[in-house]
């Protein structure tokens, strides 16, 4: 089950990065929320969550996410 969970996190993180790059902010936020929920300790997901929050102007949230890295 751990391997399947890791794949879910990896796919969600990659999907969030693709959406963010394409400017699809809401889709990126949704995917990154799934990645963080699946593995809150994953630095890549937390960093991406911070990036998404920053781009959306949610600076307090971005600061919190970056501190989790």
Q: What is the pLDDT of residues 19-60, one digit of tens each?
A: 988 989 899 999 888 888 888 888 888 888 998 899 889 999
The pair of structure tokens assigned to 17 is: 């990065």
24: which DSSP letter?
-
- For the full predicted model, state whether its pTM sits above 0.85: no
Kindly indicate the confidence band of residue 4, based on its pLDDT and cuts at 50, 70 and 90. low
Q: How far apart are CA 54 and CA 69, in angstroms?
A: 15
Q: How far apart are CA 3 and CA 63, in angstroms?
A: 30
């Amino acid at each position: 089950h751990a391997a399947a969970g890791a794949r879910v996190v990896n796919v969600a993180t990659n999907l969030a990065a693709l959406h963010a790059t394409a400017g699809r902010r809401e889709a990126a936020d949704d995917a990154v929320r799934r990645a963080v929920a699946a593995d809150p300790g994953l630095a890549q997901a937390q960093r991406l969550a911070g990036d998404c929050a920053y781009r959306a102007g949610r600076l307090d949230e971005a600061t919190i996410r970056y501190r989790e890295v």
